[in-house]
Chain A
Amino acid sequence: MSNLTVRSLLAAGIFGAGLLAGAATAQDFNVTIGAVGPLTGPAANTGKDHRQGLELAVKEWNEGKGDYVTKNPPKVTFMMEDTSGKPEVAISAAQRLITRDKINMLIGDTLHSHVTLALMELAPQYNLPILSAEPVSSAIADKVKADPDRYQLYWKGNWNSDGYGTAVHDFYTWAFANGTVDPGDKKIAFVVEDTDYGIANAEKIGDLFKADGWTVAATETVPPATTDFYPQLSKLRDAGPDVIVSVFTVPNSGVAFVRQMKEQALEGSHLAIYYPTKPEFMDQAADIAEGMYWAALTFSSELNPEHKAFSDKVEAEYGNPGTYSTAHAYCTMEIALRAIDAAGSTDPKAIAEKLSETDYDCVVGRAKFGEDHAVQSGPDFIPVPVAQIQDGKNQIIWPENVATAKPQ
């Protein structure tokens, strides 16, 4: 332990050396992995998907069905704690895992970027490898880049939010070039939820479009789970943007937004980010969302046989179909397990070293970390495809090499 405090020194003096819990490197090579994620609160559904994905990977690993690196893979103990989506609760939970359960590695946060920003501080503090799962905020990667030495044990299991921005921008450049979408007066507007996710996306896309000579007509931020967009839509109609980008993580915000846009007969091209990935959205809005573009169709049982197989596997185990979140969590755990396996020990530095060398094809794509410790996105890595809803079904329309249909 790097932080031998006065307390532990005193404790050692009084109660004897027996209290100093050392790094017990057992002969048979067991590892304990902890995870923290939102198991309660508004994001609990996603958190529960994460738990299923993580547990499934561990179960297969322990049953001899894992994708091992060496012949002598470790036995894995896994436990997950709740964060309620709050940084301070996550810190308490992680501390309990670290000091009570003596975990060798932490997967966390499984969803929230703001929680991850707090958790990553524990990596240098407790000399613990930490791998976050779904968080995307570029702020995390910026933090790593600012002090790579401090965060050498922290790794980010998802691409940076710029990934969306780049994809959305590149898609529209392509669509303008081939006449699918008319750039008009080159005005873009955003309606996003007030989370790191929504805001980071709006900023990144706005910057890329501005560089091409566009103006940002409006950026409207609404509290998460908002469902009345009439004031914002009236304003947008007045501003007359040619491209509207909406970002919500709560599917019902998306359903309401799409319906109200249709009621208001807003012109201009609409691209949605994230919420159409949720099955609830397609259930409620497939008909009203006809023709809408969205990013990113990263998981689709209908279009991708590999995803279908994974979803069925989850269904067989837990009785509900797998989602992108289940698949992503599964892959995150797989990456963690393979790194530990390759390292051959629970030494934090060795695990981090092996994590950095990761190049692994998993169900959501090819995972390879960049300089900033974040998984890379793009056609060669984890793809960020743009989809369109055609005849009530999702079709990938961009990039062309993976497209399943032409844009309509």
Chain B
Amino acid sequence: MSGTHLIETVINGLISGSIYALIGSGLALIYGTTRVLNFAHGELLMLAGYFILLFAVTLGWPLILAAAATIVLIMVLGALLQRVTIAPLMKREDWAFSVIAATIGLSIFLQSGAQLIWGEQYQGVPYFFHGVAVIGEVRMPWQRIAILVVALLVMGICGLILYRTKLGRIVRATAQDAEAALAVGIPAGRVHTIVFAISAGLAGTGAILLSPLITVNPWMGVSYLLKGFAVVILGGLGSFGGAVAAGFLLGLIESVSVAFVPSEWSNVIAFAFLIAVITARPEGLFAGRGA
């Protein structure tokens, strides 16, 4: 393995890792505050992909405007998803499984729905950033570098909100004890909705960054969902910071395994690593504070 190959392997790992971190940290945020596993999270990513396609390509809006519209729209959808499907189920005794089952159903419903509406073609989105950065032997297009930078920026903002603002304190308080939070006047229901919206926004950001690279299609969320869940578990269920770290770790594991074994085994290695971690450390690698 040459030096260039090593550097590229690390950069590639960090880039795919930043997407896993975006998806996983959103899932972790939801899990941390509501103990819900949202199996329809991948479809939020998919829908955001179609939105950016609509705004940026079909309607030809400027990138910033198209991205903002996509994120706002997907956050509203995320909130709606929580209000309409998840909140009513939370009142049940067996809500944990009901929510899993309902969101799995919803996920399939949205996939087939998207296929009926937009067709099964894979639709390309042009690069938002052009050109290739060349540093010595290493070549990296700006579009890919942008993924890493924007993802870090967005997750950084989320981290600041969570740990440095009043809203963040409220969210974390609800995560620790919803009933106690309610007792001191925090409306847990509304906090849950807000958390879903933020998590949808993270997935939407991922979709905007990814669309030019992976093309928009009804199934684009599927492979990221399982990776996202793996990140949540590796990071320690419900830990935002842990999920971000685990996302990058998973990306690196994958890219390093492609460098040494044929590509088709990289996911086997990633998931085997997940099961091994759970067996050895059920609380996750970076378990710490909740939310």
Residues of A that sit less than 8 Å from B by CB: 40-42, 44-45, 194, 218-223, 225, 227-228, 230-232, 234-235, 237-238, 250-252, 255-256, 263-265, 280, 284
Contact = CB atoms under 8 A, between A and B. Distances in A.
A263 B263 contact: no
Given A230-B12, A230-B144, A264-B139, A284 B124 contact: yes
A264 B5 CA distance: 12
Contacts of A222: 263-264
B214 interface: yes
A250 B219 CA distance: 14
B290 to A, nearest CB: 33
Given A234-B9, A252-B122, A227 B254 contact: no
Given A221-B264, A238-B2, 14 more contacts: A218-B262, A220-B262, A221-B262, A225-B122, A227-B213, A228-B16, A230-B15, A230-B144, A231-B255, A234-B5, A238-B4, A251-B122, A255-B215, A263-B132
Interface string B110-150: 00000000011110100000001000000101001000000
A240 to B, nearest CB: 10
Given A230-B12, A263-B141, A238 B1 contact: yes
A228 B255 contact: no
Interface string B235-277: 0000000000000000000110011001110100000000000
Contacts of B119: 45
B283 interface: no
B124 A255 contact: yes
Nearest to B216: A252
Given A252-B122, A284-B124, A263 B139 contact: yes
Q: Does more than half of chain B's interface fall in helix, strand or loop, or is it mixed?
A: helix
A45 B121 contact: yes
Interface residues of B, number: 32
Leading 3 A-B pairs by shortest Cβ distance:
A231-B258, A252-B122, A234-B8
B26 to A, nearest CB: 20
Contacts of B120: 40-42, 44-45
B217 interface: yes
Nearest to B143: A263
Contacts of B254: 231
Contacts of A221: 262-264
Contact of B264 (A40, A194, A234, A256): A194
A237 B121 contact: no
Contacts of A225: 122, 217, 219
Interface string B204-223: 00000000011101010001
B117 to A, nearest CB: 14
B213 A231 contact: no
Nearest to B134: A265
A238 B5 contact: yes
Contacts of B124: 252, 255, 284
| Among A194, A234, A252, residue most surrounded by chain B Cβ atoms (within 10 Å) | A234
Contacts of A232: 258, 263
B258 A235 contact: yes
Contact of A235 (B141, B219, B259): B259
A235 B8 CA distance: 9
B139 A265 contact: yes
A41 B219 CA distance: 10
Contacts of B9: 231, 234
A230 B262 contact: no
A176 B217 CA distance: 40
Given A235-B5, A252-B122, A227 B258 contact: no
Interface string B1-32: 11011001100100110000000000000000
Contacts of A40: 120
Contacts of B8: 230, 234, 237
B122 A250 contact: yes
Contacts of A223: 223, 264
B12 A219 contact: no
23 contacts: A45-B121, A194-B264, A222-B263, A223-B223, A225-B122, A225-B217, A228-B214, A230-B8, A230-B15, A231-B9, A231-B258, A231-B266, A232-B258, A232-B263, A234-B5, A234-B12, A238-B1, A238-B5, A255-B215, A256-B213, A263-B132, A263-B141, A264-B139
A215 to B, nearest CB: 16
Contacts of B1: 238
A231 B122 CA distance: 22
Contacts of B255: 231
Contacts of B259: 231, 234-235
A252 B219 CA distance: 14
A218 B5 CA distance: 15
A83 B168 CA distance: 50
B231 to A, nearest CB: 17
A228 B12 CA distance: 10
Contacts of B5: 234-235, 237-238
A230 B254 CA distance: 12
Contacts of B4: 237-238
B263 A220 contact: yes
Nearest to B257: A231
A228 B227 CA distance: 16
A331 B107 CA distance: 40
Contacts of B144: 230
B230 to A, nearest CB: 17
Contacts of A250: 122
Nearest to B132: A263
A251 B266 CA distance: 23
Of residues A218, A232, A235, A256, which shows the largest number of chain B Cβ atoms within 10 Å of its Cβ? A235
Nearest to B263: A220
Contacts of A227: 122, 213-215
Contacts of A234: 5, 8-9, 12, 259
Contacts of B214: 227-228, 256
Nearest to B9: A234
Contacts of A256: 213-215
B215 A231 contact: no
Nearest to B131: A263
A47 to B, nearest CB: 10
A256 B258 CA distance: 18
B152 to A, nearest CB: 18
Contacts of B266: 231
